[in-house]
Structures are given as structure tokens and as C-alpha cells.
Chains A and B, each alone.
Chain A
Amino acid sequence: MKVSAYTDAPARRFSVGERVRVKRSFPPGHRRTPHYIRGKHGVVERVCGAFPNPEELAYGFDGEPKRVLYRVRFRQKDVWSDYAGPERDWLEIEIYEHWLEKA
């Protein structure tokens, strides 16, 4: 596998610029989707590539099948309704494909 921040993942559901929503779901176990971002709407900023699934790795499994990882950009005002800064402020975070749905 090409070791780069820009490894593409040919088989993926979302593209750069696409609007997405983080699933509002609270399953038990090791998750790498912080609570504060669940249920929020954003836009795919870049595709990071496919990585072993951390939710499996955490329990000693091999992380297969790999999951496509995206960086998603959110307007801070969409993340925090009481955000004190200007409209132009963003937050970007890495989200695995199985945590995203079309918005």
C-alpha cells in the first residue's frame, strides 16, 4: 500500500465536496467518532485512504475489511449552536465511511 496522506480508495461511497451526515448512533465499545460530532452535517474535505478498522483492532482482531477514512469539514455553527466565533470558522475531523450517510 502506498504510504501517503493521499492514498485514494477506489471503492468508496463518498467524494470530495459531497454533503454528508455523521450517524447519530451510540453503540458500546471502542469508537473513534467523538460524541460531539455525531448527527452533524458537513462536507467531505478529502479522502484519506482505506485503513484497518480501529473498532476491530482495539479488540485484537486484524481490522479487516479496511474502512475508507474521510476528512469532513463542518461549520462550527453547525457543530455548536451556541458557537461564539464568526460564521467563517471550521472544524475538520476524520470519520470512517460506516459512520457517514448521505445528507
Chain B
Amino acid sequence: MSHDHHDHDHPKAHGRDFDEGPPSEYEIMSRAMQELLEAKGVVSAEQIRRRMEQFEADFPHRGAKVIAHAWTDAAFRKRLLEDGKAACAEFGVDLEADRLIAVENTPEVHNIVVCTLCSCYPRALLGMPPTWYKSENYRKRVVREPRAVLREFGTVIPEDVTVRVHDSNADMRYVVVPMRPAGTEGWSEEKLARIITRDSLVGVTIPKP
């Protein structure tokens, strides 16, 4: 399911804040298409609702599991950084058409991801993008004042650490590999996965034990 590519074609439709003003041309077209498919009995409203619910329920967890595994298995971590898609596939996560670049936080570099043109996001890995990720406020500001935006998320990056912003504007998708925090020695992957939040995989926060 390639929602991202739909976004590519119609960035303006996603560029404004949601539920404000009259529906856009694309929202009307999408609504009309859904009504036609329902009227012809191809899909039911219940099936669409269930699919969206499933998308949100299933997918965020997968990113946390993949990163927890990378924290505990150095060889897997290396493969993830070399080829994100292949590493996810061996973990049972099929990214479909997306290429994935995993970017590693270190004591010297903090990574943060945005799509300034629309809302490209590794949905198969992280689920549906949060509203703030799609907002004009985040998309416009994070490329030019990333440290101020990070502070608004409660994340302060020291001046001697490079902030590396990734604009996910074309065919690649990104996931941040946060640093495993001190105080988690000996934790199981399951326990580690619980502190790996979606936001930390976009790079706006840092996992805490």
C-alpha cells in the first residue's frame, strides 16, 4: 500500500492543517471514489474502517521491535545501517516499495527526519504519520531551525553535537536509530521496545529508561 506516492502527486492537499476550511478537491475526489466503490459493492465502509484501524494498531510496534533488536545484536545493527529494507525483511517486516535508510544517533550526531514537500514517512515500519509530522509548522521550521523545534518536543541537543536534518523529499524513507540509554543493561528486547517510541524513531525525542 503506497500512500506516500499518492502524497507526492498532491502535496497541496496535505499541506494545510487538517479539518480546517472546506474539503479540498482531492478530499472530495477520494470521498466520491469511496462512495462509488461502496455503491458497487467492491468494498464496504466497515472494511475500510477496519483496515485503517489495523494499520494503526499493527505497525508502530514493528519499528520499536526492529530497533530493540538492533540495540542487542551488533551484526543486525550493521546490516540495518547498510540496507534498511533488507534488514527489516529478515525481521519479517516487508516495506513493500519503500527503500529505507537507517540513520544512527551517536554522541556526535543527532538525526531528525522531515518531508518538506508532503508527508513521506516509513508507514510500513512506523504506521500512520502523526498530525504534527504533516503540519506546515513542523515541515517548514525543522529544516531551518531544527534545534528550536526539538526544544519544543522537550529535546535539547548540546551545541557540540551536530544536528543532521534529513529531508525525505523523494524516493527514500528514513528511520532514526537512537542511542541505547544507560541504565538499560541486561534488559530484554521486549522491555527495550517499550521505551522506543515512534517519536524517537523520527528523531524528535530521545528514549529514556
Contact = CB atoms under 8 A, between A and B. Distances in A.
Interface of A: 3-7, 30, 32-34, 36-37, 48-49, 51, 54, 58, 69, 71, 76, 79-80, 83-86, 88-96
Contacts of B100: 5
A26 B85 CA distance: 34
A7 B86 CA distance: 12
Contacts of B9: 30, 58
Contacts of A32: 8, 117, 169-170
B165 to A, nearest CB: 5
Contacts of B144: 36, 76, 79-80, 83
A4 B167 contact: no
Is chain B's interface secondary structure helix, strand, loop, or mixed overall?
A: mixed
Given A30-B9, A32-B8, A32-B169, A90 B164 contact: yes
Contacts of B85: 3-5
Given A4-B99, A84-B147, A84-B148, A36 B169 contact: no
B101 interface: yes
Size class of B's contact patch?
A: 20 to 34
Nearest to A83: B144
A4 B83 contact: yes
Contacts of A37: 167
B119 interface: no
A37 B167 CA distance: 11
Interface in B163-208: 163-172
B60 interface: no
B24 interface: no
A94 B145 contact: no
B116 interface: yes
Contacts of A71: 101, 172
B63 interface: no
A73 to B, nearest CB: 8
Contact of A36 (B116, B164, B170): B116
